[in-house]
């Protein structure tokens, strides 16, 4: 019970932070931290749709996903992807530190893989593949918006290569951690399957 209360408190903090970052970017769209990166539109999409994925899925499909109760810790992990990205822009970390973006790419891909594995029951290899596919599509979107819409999200081929590598390492790490945690939770089931 205490663990779930902490999970809901974290959820509220993450959602409050995400909303606060959105308010700041909408009030200061031409701030150097946000200028030329399509941040206002991206953050509005995140807040209005992607951050609501778990509440909507819980209301509409909890039986399909076999959720007996709200998967608050999986939602927290999922929301942390957006919080970290938005915090990086809010605090100017992307502009101040050349390789800061490796941290959100590592965590974002890894957290997505962990979420797919824990909340949706995807096998580790499938979660690894799906998370990296989505990450690759997001990296391609950044390149294409730079080319066709004049944004400046990618600094060169080495930036994309580093981001994709960080994503692969993140997914491998998080899927491994998720598998270890699941094995620790169900040791008797593993023993009966072996015997």
- For residue 49, what are the contacts with CB-CB under 8 A and spacing of at least 6? none
Q: Is residue 194 part of a domain?
A: no
Q: Is residue 195 part of a domain?
A: no
Q: Is residue 153 part of a domain?
A: yes
- pLDDT tens, position by position, 72-106: 999 999 999 999 999 999 999 999 998 999 999 99
Q: Which residue range forms the structural domain that includes residue 126?
A: 2-189
Q: Is residue 125 part of a domain?
A: yes
Q: Is residue 137 part of a domain?
A: yes
d(CA 11, CA 77): 9
DSSP 61-97: HTTTTT-SS--HHHHHHHHHHHHHHHHHHHTTHHHHS
Mean pLDDT of 136-156: 85
d(CA 96, CA 105): 17
Task: Read off the pTM.
Answer: 0.89
- For residue 172, what are the contacts with CB-CB under 8 A and spacing of at least 6? 110, 128
**The predicted structure's pLDDT at residue 47:** 81
Q: Is residue 123 part of a domain?
A: yes
**The predicted structure's pLDDT at residue 187:** 60
Q: Is residue 164 part of a domain?
A: yes
Q: Taking Cα atoms as reference points, which of 73, 109, 115, 108 lies closest to residue 87?
A: 108
Q: Taking Cα atoms as reference points, which of 164, 18, 39 lies closest to residue 92?
A: 39
Q: Give the up-direction half-sphere exposure of residue 152: CA atoms within 13 A in the CB hemisphere.
A: 8
**Domain total in the chain:** 1
Q: 130 and 115 in contact (C-beta within 8 Å)?
A: no
Confidence of residue 195 (pLDDT cuts 50, 70, 90): very low
Phi/psi for 38 (5° steps) reads: 60, 30
């Amino acid at each position: 019970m205490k663990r779930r209360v902490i999970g809901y408190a974290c959820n509220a903090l993450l959602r409050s932070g995400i909303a606060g970052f959105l308010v700041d970017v909408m009030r200061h769209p031409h701030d150097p931290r946000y200028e030329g990166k399509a941040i206002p539109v991206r953050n509005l999409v995140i807040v209005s749709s992607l951050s609501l994925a778990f509440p909507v899925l819980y209301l509409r499909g909890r039986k399909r996903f076999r959720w007996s109760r709200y998967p608050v810790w999986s939602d927290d992990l999922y929301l942390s992807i957006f919080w970290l990205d938005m915090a990086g822009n809010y605090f100017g970390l992307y502009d101040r530190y050349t390789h800061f973006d490796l941290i959100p790419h590592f965590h974002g891909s890894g957290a997505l893989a962990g979420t797919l594995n824990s909340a949706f029951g995807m096998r580790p290899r499938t979660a690894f593949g799906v998370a990296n596919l989505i990450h690759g599509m997001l990296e391609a979107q950044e390149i294409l918006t730079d080319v066709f819409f004049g944004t400046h999200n990618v600094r060169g081929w080495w930036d994309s290569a580093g981001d994709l590598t960080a994503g692969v390492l993140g997914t491998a790490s998080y899927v491994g951690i998720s598998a270890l945690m699941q094995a620790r939770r169900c040791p008797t089931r593993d023993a009966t399957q072996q015997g």
